Structure 1
Amino acid sequence: MTSHEMRNPLSAILQSADSIVTAFTAMGMPLTGEGLNLSPEIADEIMEAAQIIVLCAQHQKRIVDDILTLSKLDASLLAISPEKVQLPSLLRKALKMYEGTLVHAGIDATLCVEPSYRELGVECVMLDASRLLQIIINLLTNAIKFTQYSEVRRITIKLGACLERPTGNHHKINFIPIRPGRQSPPVVQAEWGNGEDVYVQIAVSDTGEGLKEEELSSLFQRFSQASPKTYKQYGGSGLGLFISRELSELLGGQIGVASTAGNTTFAFFVKAKRCAQEAGGRRPSVPRVPSISDKPISYGRKGSIAPASPPEDHRQGTMSSDTLSFGTHATAGAELPIINGPKGKVPNGDATHAKSDVLHVLVVEDNMVNQRVMSQQLRRAGCVVHVANHGLECLGFLDHTIFCEATTPLSIILLDLEMPTMDGLTCIRHIRERQASGRINKHVPVIAVTANARSEQISVAIAAGMDQVVTKPFRIPELMPQMAALVAEIARLKHG
């Protein structure tokens, strides 16, 4: 209940601030025109204020997520749900989530796939992607926080793999010992498959000021930070590293840190299994990460875009040449972490598969503030938007669309879960029943948009027939490519 009540207003705050930034960017600087006369200084102040609101809302979301995770850990209610994961794509997603922050702070962020990963031919693995992503985000946000004021601003994420349990020697760190009596949550063997065990190693290095020996000893404790000055200078709850340790151990791994002046590396590993199709033998390929030689795009501080070559110091001889570079040498686009349902697997390739096709979106939301804000942002993003206040109105609207041999175009539905008259779960069940009976003539792409972030609630939504679930707060610029990808993938499966 508390999570739901916090996420709903956070979502409206985040999207409203994004709307201000988008509108100002579209109008150009300085903002002048009939009835509007702002000096460049005032326009800059408004833009900066909106960006600060976005950053603060994102920070509050992380706190909510951490507290929810902590409460589950304390109650031994944290479930591990394995799924097929292509790890380079997952790490790209994590970097793209913070692309704007990296650019604003002038930080170069690079993803490096190490030779060990390619030599094992790991294509996809079975593990809990949401928990792994939570660890990565905690480490990445820490790295950004401690690097943004450094003279040299660089973050590197390294991905490796091995068949034996890692010792820490590869990254020259000592893993934190596993707590005595630590028990992993019960797992259903059938969910993991029969693939070969493999250990996935991920390291996040930054060029922040570094940590002293006495500061290292206090890390990974509940509500603990490196030193009292850490909170004064950088803020934070002191939960991120503690939760990262808990999650890494629950996933069959460990976490550790090594630090010197101007260089800190947090590294962890988790236990996974090769996907079923890989179990019979190793494949020599993994999804390609764009190479730095592909001329990544550079973002200017005012949003100008121009091709740029990365600096020579990104070309690390010990790494694979396959890297992804962000920050002052950033590639465009952003992805939102989502949970895929059985009918809506988002492809790992270009999320803008629909190209210039206009998305016709039905927003089903009973909260009038969220409905208005979401609709405005979707229209600014080029969508044609219809609205419904509850599930019954949604079903009535569907009867007049191309899904029911009528003429109104519709590409996708964004469906809230908790609504009066008819809730989202009841609505999606009716939609899928109508599909099965033929009253609806083809699969309707539906993304659940909800403040209910608990894994069991998400599982119920997927089981009811949702293609994907996105939890509030979220950002429309990050949701757009995911909607386009889902619509394109369902169309591809139909014509397959």
Structure 2
Amino acid sequence: NGIIGMTSLLIDTNLNSEQQEYVNDIHTCSIALLRIINDILDFSKIESNKLDFEERPFNLRLCLEECIDLLAIQAVNKKIELAYFIEDNTPSIILGDETRLRQILVNLITNAVKFTAKGEVLVNVSSQQIPWSENIINSPNSEAFKLPEDSSDNQQNIASNLYEIKFSVKDTGIGIPRDKMHKLFQPFSQVDSSTTRQYGGTGLGLVISKRLCEMMGGKMWVESQEGIGSTFHFTLMAKVDENIRSQFNPISNLANKRLLIVDDRPSCLQILTQQLNEWGILSHTATSGIAAINILKNETADQNFDFDLIIIGMEMSEMDGVATAIAIREIPKYKYLPLVMLTPIGKSPTKNQLQKLNLAALLNKPIKQLQLYNILDKIFC
């Protein structure tokens, strides 16, 4: 930590190009070494049953968004779509160890981005309430979430607030050969163990993540096809205290609004459509700028497609978001229609373009549900 801190300060001083390169290498190697040390220490604690878990209330959505934010720049640099979706029945505030959940999520999302050259990485979160059962309460896997020894009525009341939270991290990366799957969760083991392997690592990340899941009453498994991609699933058990439960249930004036979503990423269209539908918004999709223009020019005969707002992805291959927005503004009916542009982090239209387009808002990808809601609510309020 001392080396990392001092080199971080040194990087910001006046250095020539050669010195800058050397300091950057020291800084990068120090971070890599710290990760190795942390992995070994965690693995040792798990093996000796010395790992303690906290049980505190935390915001599940915020935890996931912060994990995704850590990897967003890497995904943008690789031109990978990074997105998440939390299903509506999932509690927002849960009791558990946020640090350990964050450790698992960062490990899986980092691997997904690292092993994906093009396409997307999608994180999905769902949950189911666990019915009252002596088997669940006495389950050895739920030791970290053992219920207090109290009256049967009290135990039943607590158990009724017990949820199984399921996470899925799906990528369109290189996939895992079937004959190498058995190596995934073995300590110090790599799927590609050759000296010329392209991807580094200690071979401990997945092992630690799997053990952490099991210690939190859950499990981890993987589905993969070589050359197509992988999906890592994991679950954990979590209590929800009704006194601190804070589900995001917006009471909005968005119901029955009509939105057109324009993006050439099917995952982005799917996630936005699901989210808007949950808020009662009627959405229509277009997979390219040209398709959107055709819809807008031909919809006048059908009032069912009289849109109140259009969401446009900035980076589209056939016709980018800026060109699409300009074309929309040339249609008299939509000259002043609110337009929201989805932009990758660090990339946005120029000042001249912004003035010409008269956008209602810019929204960074990965799209955050609360930010999207607040923008739409502000536009329509």
* TM alignment of 1:314-329, pairs within 5 A: 314-317=267-270, 320-321=274-275, 329=343
SS in 2 for 1:126: strand
Q: Specify which of 91, 104, 118 is matched with residue 122 of structure 1.
A: 91
Which of 62, 79, 102 is the matching residue for 1:89?
62
2:304 is matched with none
State whether residues 94 and 136 of structure 1, in contact with CA within 8 Å, keep that contact through their aligned partners in structure 2: yes
Partner secondary structure for residue 140 of structure 1 = helix
Change (3 A) 1:121 1:132: closer
- For 1:75, the aligned partner's letter is S
- One-letter amino acid matched to 2:59: Q
Contact 2:145 2:238 in 1 (8 A): no
Equivalent position of 1:112 in the other structure: 85
Residues 210 and 264 of structure 1 are in contact (CA less than 8 Å); yes or no, is this contact kept in structure 2?
yes
Please state how far the C-alpha of 1:252 moved relative to its aligned partner. 0.4
Tell me, in whole angstroms, the C-alpha distance in 2 between the residues paired with 1:155 and 1:59.
23
User: Normalised by the size of structure 2, how large is the TM-score?
Assistant: 0.58
2:111 paired residue among 129, 142, 147: 142
Map of 1:203 onto structure 2: 168
- Cα shift at 1:46: 7.4
Change (3 A) 1:154 1:56: farther
In structure 1, the residue matched to 2:3 is 9
* Structure 2 Cα separation of the partners of residues 275 and 186 of structure 1: 13
Equivalence for 2:215:
250
For 1:215, give the aligned amino acid.
K
What is the CA–CA distance in structure 2 between the aligned matches of 1:273 and 1:110, rounded to whole Å?
A: 26
Q: Which amino acid aligns with 1:269?
A: T
Contact in 2 for aligned 1:211/1:264 (Cα 8 Å): yes
Say if 1:185 and 1:250, in contact at 8 Å, map to a contact too.
Answer: yes
Distance 1:92 1:283 in 2: 16
AA aligned to 1:246 is R
**Cα distance in 2, alignment partners of residues 198 and 67 from structure 1:** 31
Deviations 1:179-212 (A, max 9, x none): xx8784586849x994700111111111211111
| 1:472-487 to 2 correspondences below 5 Å | none
Q: CA RMSD in A?
A: 4.2
Q: In structure 2, what residue type is equivalent to 1:13? A: T
C-alpha contact (below 8 Å) 2:90/2:126 kept by paired residues: no
Q: CA deviation at 1:50?
A: 6.1
The gaps in structure 1 that reach 5 residues or longer are 1-6, 25-37, 166-180, 289-308, 333-348, 351-496
**Alignment partner, residue 285 of structure 1:** 249
Report the Cα distance in structure 1 between the residues aligned to 2:115 and 2:9, rounded to whole angstroms.
27
TM superposition shift of 1:106:
2.9
Alpha-carbon offset, residue 225 of structure 1: 1.7
* Contact persistence 1:209–1:262 (CA under 8 A): yes
Report if aligned partners of 1:78, 1:185 keep a CA contact under 8 Å in 2. Answer: no
Contact 1:80-1:187 at 8 Å conserved across structures? no
Secondary structure (helix, strand or coil) at the match of 1:276 reads coil
SS at match of 2:115: helix
Q: 2:228 aligns with which of 240, 245, 262?
A: 262
| Paired AA for residue 275 in structure 2 | S
Amino acid at match of 2:344: A
Matched, 1:239 2:212: no
CA contact (8 A) 2:141 2:216 kept: no
SS in 1 for 2:198: helix
Would you say the 8 A contact 1:143–1:204 is kept in 2?
A: yes
Q: Distance in 1 between matches of 2:90 and 2:232?
A: 25
CA distance in 2, matches of 1:50, 1:205: 35
Contact 2:123 2:167 in 1 (8 A): yes
The 1:182/1:89 distance shift into structure 2, 3 A limit, reads closer
Larger RCO, structure (CA 8 Å, separation 6 or more):
1
**Is there any run of 5+ residues in structure 2 with no aligned partner, and where?**
132-139, 150-154, 253-261, 277-312, 316-341, 347-369, 372-381
Counterpart mapping for 1:87-486 below 5 A: 87-114=60-87, 118=88, 120=89, 122-147=91-116, 150=117, 152-164=118-130, 184=143, 189=148, 194=158, 196-229=161-194, 232-260=197-225, 261-277=227-243, 285=249, 311-317=264-270, 320-321=274-275, 329-331=343-345
Q: Distance in 1 between matches of 2:65 and 2:248?
A: 21
CA contact (8 A) 2:174 2:229 kept: yes
Cα distance in 2, alignment partners of residues 164 and 231 from structure 1: 47
Equivalent position amino acid for 2:216 in 1: L
> Contact between 1:14 and 1:57, CA under 8 Å: does it hold in 2?
no
User: Does the CA contact (< 8 Å) of 2:4 and 2:27 recur in 1?
Assistant: no
Cα deviation per residue 1:237-279 (whole Å; 9 max; x = unaligned)?
0000000110000000000111112211111010001133267
Conserved 8 A contact 1:108-1:329? no
Aligned equivalents of 1:53, 1:313: Cα separation in 2: 41
Moved more, 257-266 or 45-54: 45-54
TM-score after normalising by structure 1: 0.46
Q: CA 1:248/1:55 → structure 2, altered by over 3 Å: closer, same or farther?
A: same
Aligned mates of 2:95, 2:52 — CA distance in 1:
15
Q: How many percent of aligned residue pairs carry the same amino acid? A: 24
From 34, 52, 74, the equivalent of 1:61 is 34
Contact 1:163/1:199 (8 A) holds in 2: yes
Q: Deviations over 1:427-454 (max 9, x none)?
A: xxxxxxxxxxxxxxxxxxxxxxxxxxxx
Aligned-pair distance for 1:160?
1.2
2: distance between equivalents of 1:186 and 1:123?
18
In structure 2, relative to structure 1, the CA distance for the partners of 1:53 and 1:311 (3 Å cut) is: farther
**Structure 1 position 318, deviation (Å):** 6.7
